Amino acid sequence: MSVGYPMCPGCNREHDSFLDSSDRNQINRELLVAALGDEWPADMIQTAAEMLADSESRFPSGPRRLPGDLVRAIQRERLLVGMLRAISELGYRSTNVQDVIERAGVSRPTFYEHFSNKDDCFLAGFDTCATRLRDQITIAADEGGDIWRDRMRSCFNALLAFAAAEPDAARMVIVEARAATPDAALRRVALLDYFATCIDKKVRELLPAGTARSPVTASGVVGGVESLLYARLNKNQMDDLPALLPSLMYFAVLPYEGHLAAGEELRLKTT
């Protein structure tokens, strides 16, 4: 599995998963559509949602009315949710396969139909969460228009909103990936490099010619933001995340536009 990410906004969107849900215990038609896209007819998705709802989010035993491929796709999504829940509660190093399948509500053989081990499942969950984060920030950047600071402000807003709304997903990407496998560390670095490259690209496009343009500057901005979020997530300090926006903007604007411009951002109130 590749660890690379597209190096600018506009990458192809992968399917979301049940990780979209703020109430991860609820598995309904909307979440199934979000997870599986438009690969399956609507009536099959509806049948799957009804079967899961009638059996406390578990497929009932006995003959099934759904194609095997659809059932397997849903079971895979359930395992990703199980991994997300387990590492949120226990941490990556303390989580084992049994913890995942208990939270997913599937059997051990089902787990090994989809993943070779815990690490494989974790990497799949990381990729899903990272794709969601990347896509949300890409959309926010586009909404920021052609003014560099507006784009940065919109991106930081999206980042903070993601961490506040999906703290378990944010924790997987920002905190637990550091403690996981070398492959997870490579994916984390690739994600940070992606964001740094995007910042550097927009600096070159949208700021005056005399602006500092070292790619290392963008990497420093991204690394500082990631470190701040790591500390907040590690301490479970999530209540005041939106209030970080002026400080993040100050930190990002300072090396490119100087103290005066950065100070303007620091004085702005969050909305």
pLDDT, tens digit (0-9, with 9 covering 90-100), for 131-190: 999 999 999 999 988 999 999 999 999 999 999 998 999 999 999 999 899 999 999 999
Number of C-beta neighbours around residue 43 at 10 A: 8
- pLDDT score for 237: 84
- pLDDT score for 96: 97
In the Cβ-directed half-sphere of 131, how many Cα atoms lie within 13 Å?
Answer: 18
In the numeric block, which tokens belong to residue 213?
């343009």
| Structural domains of the chain, ranges and CATH numbers in brackets | 18-120 (1.10.10.60), 129-267 (1.10.357)
- pLDDT score for 2: 36
- pLDDT score for 214: 87
Closest to 197 in 3D by CA, of 129, 141, 262: 141
- What is the residue-averaged pLDDT of the chain? 82
Put simply, whether the predicted model's pTM sits higher than 0.85 gets the answer no
Query: Quick check: 155 and 247 in contact, CB under 8 A?
Result: no
Q: Say which residue the tokens 């993943």 belong to.
A: 115
Query: Quick check: 17 and 35 in contact, CB under 8 A?
Result: yes
- pLDDT score for 22: 40
- pLDDT score for 64: 58
- Give the relative orientation of helices 182-206 and 148-165 as an angle to the nearest 10 degrees: 150
The rounded distance, in Å, linking the Cα atoms of 196 and 216 is: 8
- pLDDT score for 89: 93
Which stretches within the chain are classed as H helix?
A: 29-36, 42-54, 68-90, 97-104, 108-114, 118-143, 148-165, 167-171, 177-179, 182-206, 215-234, 245-267
- Residues with pLDDT less than 50, the chain: 1-26, 54-56, 63
The rounded distance, in Å, linking the Cα atoms of 76 and 73 is: 5
Query: Is the Cα dihedral 111, 114, 116, 117 positive or negative?
Result: negative
